[in-house]
Structure 1
Amino acid sequence: MNTTNNIEATVTPKDRNRAARPLAVVTGASSGIGFELAKRCAAEGFDLVIAADDPRIEEAARSLALVGGTVHAVQVDLATCEGVDRLLAAVKDRPVDALLANAGHGLGRAFLDQEWDEIRHVIDTNVTGTVYLLHQVGREMAGRGHGRILITGSIAGFMPGTYQAVYNGTKAFIDMFAYALRAEVQGRGVTVTCLMPGPTETDFFERADMLDTKVGRAEKDDPADVAENGFKAMMAGESGVVSGWQNKLQAALAKILPETVMAGQHARQAAPGTGDKA
């Protein structure tokens, strides 16, 4: 299981007008989709509180501050309630105008070959910590009658994840949870949008130990494009967006093909050692 020291840093550009800037909280923002989402928020006039379990979060904060606004970085393990509380403490008394719950971990290889601590950390990051954060911030938003929430799910949630069973299971939960939460807060001034990307060019596959798989070696989507799709959908108050036409096709097929067929297809993409095969 990952252990992360709680580290905070604030970067405040001296030449930026901070008056009346809205606040966005972005998790998993040290790189990849999360960083690109945070950059998009900064460009649209948001101050930022960003969090990740990666020490690169401080470097990300310095880069984002060049785009605009104040950036407060928190290095913390969002798989724990204590870590989420640490993030919330960094927000202080400012109202959160946008929550972009993007933090997530993957885990490749066969379920019975994985270590329990790693399995639990994926579940706690993708589900427990995410739901706790959404509960805390969502309540405040609904009480105030204003807020936008973007939850990063995945098209992985539409299919059995052979050799990625735990990850796909967590994303199935997150995808469905997002739509349910959206229905519950309808009429309370809060919108919930689910961003569902496919394989994206981030460090996800390296961290998930999947670089020797077919999907790990294949060409992937640009995280900036994925973030752009998600940000636009959030600002428009849309229910959800599948990023990329190939992923839209795969999501559509997942709704009509039998689960056994989808499980077999997933195995051919995610099985260890398939990355060396034609």
Structure 2
Amino acid sequence: MTQNITEPQSRPLALVTGASSGIGFELAKLFAEHGYDLVVNAEDAGIQKAAMLVQAGGASVVAVQADLRTEQGVAELWSQVQGLGRPLAAAAINAGVGQSGAFVDTDWADDLAIMQLNVVSTAALLKLALVEMTARDDGRVLVTSSIASTMPGAYQPVYNASKSFVQSLTEAVQEELSDKGSAVTVTALMPGPTETEFFDRAGLDDTAMGQGPKDPADEVARQGFEAMLAGERKVVAASLATKAQAAASRVLPDAVKAAAHKVIAKPRD
């Protein structure tokens, strides 16, 4: 889906992954509203409808349905971005999945899929975007981490561990860019429970976390987008409760955080 997006444009180009719904879709809309053209990605066919809705706001949009859990999917997406022949001004690396259950009970194939998407594809796209941006010394990246990155995730162990990797990688790269005096910025978006399809897809509907209050996806996206534009290193979004949870995580021992996470993530009998 495109409107002469390969032709010379005054609008900057942005990439958003996981853009068929939830935070990613809201981020795509914000980019369009702020004058960006877009490449949007998701593994499901809903990305086509999402692209049409974003395009209705005046942006030129390319929709790429590709599974980022695979090396081929990452390569296909990046090939589409590079094929436009335009500099990538911004990237929101947002795609991610989770799964409920004790580590000994989950299927290894499902665990591996979480790591491939949340860890491998995030790192791959971050590297590809930053190599392109730092060559021009211009660009902004928003990486969707999670408040879960700050705590051991009993009954959601692989997901939390994957987000800890993402947060650590993001903060390390931020320091490297600062050391080089680069104008390129990387921002970590750290949401708490958010109104998206994540909980249903992860099998968390029968947990206290899944049934508890959640932040609206549009507000989480807005805070992340604004932090990215401001070049901030991280933003905990969106509610005061989520921000309080992040503050508590900075001082509580890991064993206490793991026990607390068990209470909210353990499936109810």
Matched residue of 1:113: which SS?
coil
Q: Structure 1 residue 215: deviation in Å?
A: 0.7
Unpaired runs of 5+ in structure 2? none
Is 1:24 aligned to 2:24, yes or no?
no
Equivalent in the alignment of 2:188: 194
Equivalent in the alignment of 2:87: 95
CA contact under 8 A between 1:11 and 1:62: conserved in structure 2?
A: no
Matches within 5 A, 1:16-165: 19-91=9-81, 92=83, 93-165=85-157
Matched residue of 2:188: which SS?
strand
Q: Structure 1 residue 188: deviation in Å?
A: 1.9
Equivalent in the alignment of 2:257: 262
> Taking every aligned residue pair, what percent have the same amino acid on both sides?
46
Q: Distance in 1 between matches of 2:30 and 2:248?
A: 31
Q: Distance in 1 between matches of 2:91 and 2:171?
A: 16
Q: Structure 1 residue 189: deviation in Å?
A: 1.9
Q: For 1:78-100, what per-residue CA distance to the aligned partner results, in whole angstroms no more than 9, with x for missing partners?
A: 11221111011111122100010
Equivalent in the alignment of 2:173: 181
Partner amino acid for 1:158? T
Equivalent in the alignment of 1:253: 248
Partner amino acid for 2:252? L
18-27 or 219-228, which deviates more: 18-27
CA contact under 8 A between 1:13 and 1:68: conserved in structure 2?
A: no
Partner amino acid for 1:221? D
Matched residue of 1:97: which SS?
strand
Q: Distance in 2 between matches of 1:69 and 1:18?
A: 14
Q: For 1:91-145, what per-residue CA distance to the aligned partner results, in whole angstroms no more than 9, with x for missing partners?
A: 1122100010001011111111100110000001000011011111110100111
Q: For 1:38-94, what per-residue CA distance to the aligned partner results, in whole angstroms no more than 9, with x for missing partners?
A: 000000000000001111000000000011211100111111221111011111122
Alignment TM-score, normalising by the size of structure 1? 0.92
Equivalent in the alignment of 1:5: none
Q: For 1:212-246, what per-residue CA distance to the aligned partner results, in whole angstroms no more than 9, with x for missing partners?
A: 11111112000000000000000000111001211
Equivalent in the alignment of 2:3: 12
Q: Distance in 2 between matches of 1:72 and 1:13?
A: 10
Alignment TM-score, normalising by the size of structure 2? 0.95
CA contact under 8 A between 1:28 and 1:102: conserved in structure 2?
A: yes
Q: Distance in 2 between matches of 1:131 and 1:251?
A: 24
Say which of 215, 223, 233 aligns to 2:227.
233
Unpaired runs of 5+ in structure 1? 1-9
Matched residue of 1:104: which SS?
coil
Q: Distance in 2 between matches of 1:44 and 1:58?
A: 21
Q: Structure 1 residue 11: deviation in Å?
A: 3.9
Q: Structure 1 residue 12: deviation in Å?
A: 2.8
Q: For 1:173-214, what per-residue CA distance to the aligned partner results, in whole angstroms no more than 9, with x for missing partners?
A: 111111111111122220000000000000001110111111
Q: Distance in 2 between matches of 1:149 and 1:194?
A: 9
Q: Distance in 1 between matches of 2:122 and 2:150?
A: 19
Is 1:214 aligned to 2:204, yes or no?
no
CA contact under 8 A between 1:149 and 1:234: conserved in structure 2?
A: yes
43-52 or 84-93, which deviates more: 84-93
Detail structure 1 runs of 4+ shifted over 3 Å in the superposition.
Answer: none
- What is the number of equivalent residue pairs in this alignment? 263
Q: Structure 1 residue 13: deviation in Å?
A: 9.2
Partner amino acid for 1:37? L
Q: Distance in 2 between matches of 1:19 and 1:164?
A: 44
Partner amino acid for 1:148? R
Partner amino acid for 2:155? Y
Q: Structure 1 residue 19: deviation in Å?
A: 3.2
CA contact under 8 A between 1:13 and 1:65: conserved in structure 2?
A: no
CA contact under 8 A between 1:81 and 1:132: conserved in structure 2?
A: no
Q: Distance in 2 between matches of 1:19 and 1:98?
A: 15
